[in-house]
Amino acid sequence: MSYIVAVDVGGTEIKSALVDSDFNVIATITAPTPNADTTGVETVKAIAAIVAQFSTQHPVDAVGLAVPGALDEPAGTSRWSGNLQWKNLPIRNLLEDAIKIPVAFGHDVRTAAVAEMRSGAAKGARNAIFIPVGTGIAAALIIDGEIRSAEGFAGEIGHVNVNGKYPCVCGKSGCLEPAASTLAISKAYGAQSGKSGTTTEEIYKLVVAGDAVAINVWNDATAAMARACELLITILAPEVIVFGGGLSNAGETFLKPIRDYLDSSLTFQRKPRLEIAHYGAKAGTIGCAMLAFDRVKAGK
């Protein structure tokens, strides 16, 4: 049996897992993402500490590292990440130099899409879109059977204008991300109800329970997502749109308003199926593990 560590560096947390070659998650560690770590030094230190801790359980053969933002994946570089405040940061090499084992590197959304494409909700679809909704929002575009990233620039659906009313980390206003991310939903609910710090998990339960403020916030967020989907459907004609990330736990409560909007707004376009990620919030971990084991098998 061989083992890898899957690491997902998010805007607020570094989520990591020790995964065996049958894709069983053996153990997990979550640590806070270092704040405004523009040089990546603190992030590398945090990941090295995690790998060292897992190594006491099993020898680790490789790391799969997933990060958000615009990347140059072959070069292992983060071109830009608004949430991490990274710019042209060679994060893969920095980490490999520190831990001395191979690091497979990918965009957090596209690594999760690998799991959904190979054995999840997008399996068998030649054209699909995978949208994890967490602190940030981006899309993996599966076109004619391949994940397309246009050298790492494509898929930043969180920054299309959906006539939203909130300022965005990208410097503009009206983007999808500050209207429909988990952070956005939590903030909007806090502003309207006076109860700050309410999680999206709590909010969608309030939606199901009929709470008027929660329903209002939910309708705004899902309407923004539906408009973004309409755009993607019109341009790319996916057979299926798969939603992942933290918000995917809401299941039909999340999908139904989007489906209703699309049913009334699409005219000539091919209607895609809307699905929740098979791996749920674990898609990123499994996809990361798949890429890391690809590297182990390739002997690099």
Binding site for Zn ion (CB under 5 A): 159, 168, 170, 175
Residue (51 or 232) nearer to Zn ion, CB = 232
Residue (17 or 168) nearer to Zn ion, CB = 168
Shortest Å distance, C-beta 168 to Zn ion: 3
The b/e string for 170-206 (b: 16+ C-beta within 10 A; e otherwise) is eeeebbbbbbbbbbbbbbbbeeebeeeebebeebbeb
Please list, in sequence order, all residues whose beta carbon lies within 8 angstroms of the beta carbon of residue 129, skipping any fewer than 6 positions away: 139, 140, 141, 142, 232, 236, 238, 240, 241, 242, 272
Cα three-residue angle 187-192-198, rounded to 5 degrees: 45
Q: What is the DSSP letter of 277?
A: -
Shortest Å distance, C-beta 215 to Zn ion: 26
Cα three-residue angle 242-248-250, rounded to 5 degrees: 135
CA distance 243 to 261: 16
Shortest Å distance, C-beta 159 to Zn ion: 4
Residue (69 or 120) nearer to Zn ion, CB = 69
Residue (125 or 157) nearer to Zn ion, CB = 157
Residue (175 or 183) nearer to Zn ion, CB = 175
In DSSP terms, which residues pair with 59 in a beta bridge? none
Shortest Å distance, C-beta 269 to Zn ion: 25
Closest CA to 257 of 231, 300, 221: 221
Shortest Å distance, C-beta 69 to Zn ion: 12
Cα radius of gyration (the chain) = 19
Shortest Å distance, C-beta 294 to Zn ion: 32
Residue (7 or 157) nearer to Zn ion, CB = 157
